Amino acid sequence: MKKIKQFFLFLVFLIMFAGLSTSESNAQDYYYLNGYQTGGTTGTNATLDCDGIIIYRTLTVVEINGNNEGFWITDGSNVLARYWNSNDAEALYLKFEPGTYYVYPNLRAGQSEASVQLVFQEF
């Protein structure tokens, strides 16, 4: 009887552990990078704002949102990519390696505020 109880407890523990590890590996965490441009006119006297994102493992862009006429992505010192269409779908599925990144939107003609949001996910 004692062996059956021990086996049963072991089996319960094993099932719980398997369930926890499965739920962790299936977790779909999203990461967000938001950039803004305000004031000024297109290309002059504008204020850029982005807190940046530090990526520790490869992430993929799965969604792009915002009110913009395209956007650009930097690593803080170099422009890595430029997109010229609003929420440009060409940036979807772009992979980002570990590092620090920033994104800034382009203003439309006559627009005084613009925003862009990149949504990342690990695959």
Question: How does pLDDT run across 49-107, given as a tens digit for each residue?
Answer: 999 999 999 999 999 999 999 999 999 999 999 999 999 999 999 999 999 999 999 99
Residues 6+ apart with CB under 8 A from 115: 34, 35, 36, 37, 66, 67, 68, 105
pLDDT of residue 83: 98
* Percentages (nearest 5) of helix, strand, coil residues in the chain: 20, 40, 35
Q: Angle at the Cα of 58 (from 69 to 47), degrees rounded to 5?
A: 30
Q: Which residue has the tokens 């398997």?
A: 18
Tell me the CA distances in angstroms from 41 to 1, 27, 45, 50, one per residue in order: 81, 43, 7, 19
